[in-house]
Structure 1
Amino acid sequence: MDSPNGQRRISLDFQDNGLVDSKMEKFETEYEEQGSVKRQYIAATVANLAAMVAGCCMGWTSPTLPYLESTKYIILTKGEEGWISSILALSAAIGPFPAGMTANRYGHKKALLGTAAIYILSWILLTAAKGAGLMYVARFLFGLSIGATFTVVPMYVGEIAEDKVRGALGSFTQLLCTLGFMYVYSIGPYVSYISLGVACTAVSVLFLVTMLFIPDSPYQLVKRGDREGARKALQWLRSKSSSGVNKELNELQVAVDEQASQKTSLRDLVATRGNVKALILSLGLVGWQQFSGINAVLFFSQAIFKMSGGTLDPSIATILIGVVMFLASGCTPLLVDRTGRRFLLLTSAVGMTLSQGVLGLFFFLRHIDVDTTNIGLLPVGSLIVYIIVYSIGFGPLPWAVMGELFSPKVKSTASSLTASFCWVLGFLITKFFQDIVDGLGTHSAFWMFSVCCGLAGMFVFFLLPETKGKSLQEIQLLLEK
């Protein structure tokens, strides 16, 4: 029955000839504390402020490069602009490896605090820059921090969250990242270069300060031998007393002991049929995610609207893209467990294929000097459709599916490898997007992305199994077939 303080008491009634022996009340179990998940939501939000800063970093080029071109505050060549945009993705491919080692050795909290410090330093350098050289350094450091963010934050959130809220909290990374995009899209076109840098530095400082008050992962604390620290962390996260977290603390100890007895190497990634399939599927999903053209679209969105010659102000159109991306990302947690992963990914692929194809057609018409005045809003509509279908499918789900496919023994190594592969592709595509536009035309670039989105749909349709409603053990058995 429920007690007045919201706790549930489980009674053991011992009867003898219909009478309850009151002396047996000493065998009643302790109150089973219900606790609360509110602080888990707080901790996940604070940790994912790192993703918001990452969104600011990735979206920064869209309002800034046109500003620099128009004001001549910093004079850059087209080649320098290309490197400023793409070097971030290159260093992000490096970031997952030192971040993973730091998190495993010192804990997720210290790894995230270090990431926050690098973010702040990077924004200071970028704001103070007067030429391409210092901008390269700042953007390279941004990339290291972003690679760390998308490696450490999902692991941290996964370890602090209870099963019943792990899916919802896991979606915060994409949601806060898009909030970062919307933040710079909304203020970037209307403030100076320095003011935008200060505004983004403020978000990084907020992340650093709030992270100081959030506990480390209880799993990591047990792993480092700090059992008492893990108990306090669980008490705070679960809103329970010391005795109320005993069971979970003991389960963590067992998990840590089992993990300590197993050594993982890169060879384990290809040691079983299931791991090989999981690796192929994970690399394929993040690969097609990058070939959908998302980084090129986000980095150059304001320039794309400017090239389109439409009636809508490019700055307003870019803000609209950020808002749509944020709202669409908020829908994913509500849909994924109802419709399944395959359905959303296939819908996403079809929608991106069509929207990129239409966008390519618009720029082709301009290329052959057809009057596009009456369809000036077409690129805005196409990109809005693209952002919506990307945000409900190929944006968040490759990472979610990756977390389901790999066995616990190889998940950490596989995650770092997959994240690195993703950013290498992101670097190459972002770096050469402008070259493709200059050499073959804007229409050719978007038609290329459209074809890739179609191939992504075929990859999902023929190769990806549905994991909806299946336990991790069932998924492993499915992959082993």
Structure 2
Amino acid sequence: MAWSPATVPILQEEDSPVPLTPDQGSWIVSINSLTGLAAILTTAYAADVFGRKMLMLVGAVPALIWWLMVAFASSYEVLITARAIGSLTGGFIGGATTMFVCEIADIEIRGTLMAFHGIFMYGGSLLMYCIVPYLPISTVAFSCMSIPVIFLVTFVWMPKSPYFYLLQNRESEAVKSLVRYKGELTPEELQFELETMYKAIRQKQETKGKWKDTFLLSNSVASAPIGSLLTGEVFHVSVKAICLTLYSTVTALYGFVLKKLFQVVSDGLGAYYSFWAFSFMCFVCAVYMYKLLPETRGKTFAQINDDMEYITGGHVDDDNKDSVKTASG
């Protein structure tokens, strides 16, 4: 994400190894948000069919191709093609990572794990801004290439999420996955974990999610860095995959429009117009989330689903009705 805004100004200088015009630079910065939709729109289907882990592993391959092409790029056409290919990584990994981490984490540390996800993401952006001005483009590319390589050779050994195994009616493998991620469990603890996941799966199979939920909750929830966690937690299980896809799609379209037009608006009207608009969006988002979203800390997916049913006027399981009313105020 941070490579292009850090590198494009260098490529627009007189001694640039790949000379770019301002218009070409704006396309390099923004094209990934648009082309990444090709991967985003397949995530909802692929995540349940092939698994979150497989989607994340596949998503690392375009990143390898992208950095390799950048390292040897000699023209604008090669760079923008590389940028388009690399965008598939974010499309595949974004939603899959959110689902995967939320499904394997204990509820007590789920938020913390997703916070680390955001820390590493922004840490990577900070790294780009620190090294790009001082190193050749090829050196940066080869350095960054090591990250997807390390990911591939280490993550391939991790088991798929137990939730995915239960979706595939593979309970014995789900048990092995649970033990791998959570350590040895007592029979009571194991039974509780399985029953919790089975309840969420039954809700997915028996309950039709409301499109009202999809559009209400999708509204850009995309408040970073907590947005990644919320998208994995608050969406009803019956529409979670499509909601994550919609969330990623809206985010990508916003990203493309904002990055492509930022320079145009700033040059034509003044940069302060852009930043006032960003501030207004943040304010509206904060009010919207405060009014609509429930607290998710320390709750299972089934309890969160019941909370959302209560807020949107749907059916709530009798077992959870009292706790839902308390949590929702």
In structure 2, distance between residues paired with 1:408 and 1:262 = 10
Tell me the distance in 1 between the aligned counterparts of 2:193 and 2:285. Answer: 43
Match of 1:437 in 2: 266
Q: Which residue pairs with 1:446 in the alignment?
A: 275
Cα RMSD (Å) of the superposition? 2.8
Match of 1:59 in 2: 2
Change (3 A) 1:284 1:129: closer
For the pair 1:121 / 2:57, whether they are aligned, the reply is: no
Aligned AA for 1:424?
L
2:215 to 279, 283, 286: 279
Question: For 2:229 and 2:204, how far apart are their aligned partners in 1?
Answer: 26
- How far the C-alpha of 1:263 sits from its partner, in A, is 7.8
State how far apart, in whole Å, the 2-side matches of 1:203 and 1:419 are.
Answer: 23
Partner of 1:95: 39
Give CA-to-partner distance per residue, 1:175-230, whole Å, 9 cap, x none: 11111112212211111010010111111111111111211111212333443332
Asked if the contact 1:222–1:256 (Cα under 8 Å) also holds between the matched residues in 2, the reply is no
CA distance in 2, matches of 1:120, 1:262: 41
Structural mapping, 1:221-240, within 5 Å: 221-240=165-184
Give the CA deviation at 1:259: 5.8
Structure 2 residue runs without a partner (length 5+): 315-329
Return the alpha-carbon distance in structure 1 between the equivalents of residues 200 and 276 of structure 2: 50
Report the AA paired with residue 18 of structure 2. Answer: I
Compare CA radii of gyration and give the structure with the larger one.
Answer: 1
Matched, 1:139 2:80: no
Q: Which residue of 2 aligns with 1:476?
A: 309
Deviations 1:259-283 (A, max 9, x none): 674486xxx432xxxxx25622432
* 1:111 corresponding residue in structure 2: 55
Residue 106 of structure 1 and its aligned partner are, at CA, apart by 1.5
Q: Determine helix, strand or coil for the equivalent of 1:407.
A: coil
Structure-1 residue corresponding to 2:126:
182
Amino acid at match of 1:195: T
Q: Percent identity?
A: 25
The aligned counterpart of 2:240 is 411
For the residues of structure 2 that align with 1:465 and 1:110, how far apart are their CA atoms?
Answer: 31
Partner residue in 2 for 1:467: 295
In structure 1, distance between residues paired with 2:70 and 2:213: 42
Return closer, same or farther for 1:428/1:402 CA change in 2, 3 Å cut-off: same
Following superposition, the deviation at residue 172 of structure 1 comes to 2.3
Q: Whole-Å Cα distance in 2 between the matches of residues 244 and 477 of structure 1?
A: 29
| Letter of the structure 1 residue corresponding to residue 264 of structure 2 | D
Cα distance in 2 between the residues matched to 1:235 and 1:253: 15
Q: Report the secondary structure of 1:171's partner residue.
A: helix
1:157 equivalent to 2:93? Answer: no
CA distance in 2, matches of 1:86, 1:180: 18
Determine if contact 2:95/2:248 at 8 Å carries over to the other structure: yes
Q: 2:251 aligns with which of 422, 430, 434?
A: 422
Identify the residue that residue 12 of structure 2 maps to in structure 1. Answer: 69
Measured after TM superposition, the shift of residue 426 of structure 1 is: 1.0
Pick which of 179-188 and 244-253 moved more.
244-253
Of the three residues 163, 166, 171, the one matched with 1:219 is 163
Q: What is the one-letter code of the residue matched to 2:90?
A: I
Q: In structure 2, what is the equivalent of residue 396 of structure 1? A: 225
Of stretches 415-424 and 433-442 in structure 1, the one that deviates more from structure 2 is 433-442
How far did 1:457 drift?
A: 4.7
Aligned residues: 308
Structure 2 CA distance for aligned equivalents of residues 222 and 442 of structure 1: 51
| 1:59/1:178 CA distance change after superposition, 3 Å | same
Please report how far the alpha carbon of residue 159 of structure 1 lies from its aligned counterpart in structure 2 after TM superposition.
Answer: 1.2
The answer to which of 394-403 and 208-217 deviates more is 394-403
Tell me, in whole angstroms, the C-alpha distance in 2 between the residues paired with 1:209 and 1:257: 31
Amino acid at match of 2:52: H
Name the TM-score, length of structure 1 as normaliser: 0.58
1:232 and 1:242 in contact (8 A); partners too: no
| Counterpart Cα distance in 1 of 2:196 and 2:234 | 22
Distance 1:250-1:429 versus aligned 2 partners, 3 A rule: closer
What are structure 1's unaligned runs of at least 5 residues?
A: 1-57, 271-275, 287-393
1:269 paired with 2:210, answer yes
Q: Is the contact between residue 29 and residue 259 of structure 2 (CA under 8 Å) also seen in structure 1?
A: yes
Cα distance between partner residues in 2 of 1:449 and 1:256: 37
| Residue pair 1:151, 1:415 contacting (<8 A) in 2 also | yes
State the partner residue of 1:295.
none
Q: Is the 8 A contact 1:154 1:173 kept in 2?
A: no
Contact 1:235 1:242 in 2 (8 A): no
SS at match of 2:198: helix
**Aligned counterparts of 1:405 and 1:222: Cα–Cα separation in 2:** 20
**Which string of whole-angstrom CA distances, capped at 9 and with x for unpartnered residues, describes residues 310-343 of structure 1?**
xxxxxxxxxxxxxxxxxxxxxxxxxxxxxxxxxx
Distance across 2 between alignment mates of 1:406 and 1:231: 25
TM-score by length of 2: 0.83
CA offsets 1:276-324 (integer angstroms, 9 cap, x no match): 25622432543xxxxxxxxxxxxxxxxxxxxxxxxxxxxxxxxxxxxxx
Amino acid in structure 2 at the alignment position of 1:477: Y
1-structure distance, mates of 2:231, 2:199: 21
Shift of 1:257: 6.3
CA 200–244 in structure 1, closer or farther in 2 if over 3 Å, else same: farther
Q: Are the aligned partners of 1:102 and 1:111 in contact in 2 as well (CA < 8 Å)?
A: yes
Separation (CA, whole Å) in 1 of partners of 2:159 and 2:186: 16
User: What residue is the counterpart of 2:319 in the other structure?
Assistant: none
